[in-house]
Amino acid sequence: MNFRNISPDELKAADEFQQKILNPKNEKRYRPFSYIKRQYGICPELFVGVYKNNKIIGIAFGYVKKSNVLLGELAIDQKFRKMGIGSKLLVFFENRAARIGKEKIVTGALEEAEAFYLRKGYKPILFLQIKYSQLPQNYTSISEFKIIKETNYVDAKRLFFEVKEPSKQLKVRLINLFHAYDGIYLFEKKLS
């Protein structure tokens, strides 16, 4: 197996590979290829793949976000899962992020991947998006969970909560309590 940067000529095929795995129903993309291509131009070191016999079997795409790196996509071919390849690819990616001087990696995860990131030393954070018209006036004091960050966007307040572990019940409870229209667990890891 060969872990290396994805070349510009391979980027389209790598994107199609990750879409087949992460978006099998071919729903509207969160990050269109034009965005991925633009980000690749900014920092190609964060677009890595694992190859077997020159065939791509896994990818990780990363995006520079100020002092952090967003691990946007991590996908391993189904035939090669549970073999430690995803773990090795993640370490390879983390080393690339550290080499360019970033402080931490942040990623979202499908529910079935949450345990993977916890095993790799990532800390969970519950991220909620709440339309301003739905935001409770006392939002800073209605929960025992600490708000570690909040951001304001045109359409919504975004709150980040410190949690010990991801829990579906907790996510639903806080979504309801805060009248959020979206909630997801993010995972972050400080780089040394």
Domains and CATH numbers, the chain: 2-108 (3.40.630.30), 123-190 (3.30.70)
Would you say the C-alpha torsion 85, 86, 91, 94 has a positive or negative sign?
positive
- Global pTM reads 0.89
Distance CA 104, CA 68 (A): 5
Single out the residue of 69, 68, 70, 74 nearest to residue 88, CA to CA. 74
**What are 66-119's pLDDT values in tens digits?**
889 999 999 999 999 999 999 999 999 999 999 999 999 999 988 888 999 999
Contact 86, 123 (CB under 8 A): no
- DSSP element (H, E) containing 147: strand 147-152
Distance CA 168, CA 144 (A): 17
Distance CA 123, CA 185 (A): 10
Report the first-to-last Cα separation within the chain, whole angstroms: 26
Q: Report pLDDT for 14.
A: 97
Distance CA 168, CA 113 (A): 13
For residue 114, what are its two tokens? 């949450």
Counting every residue written for the chain, the total comes to: 192
pLDDT beneath 70, residues of the chain: none
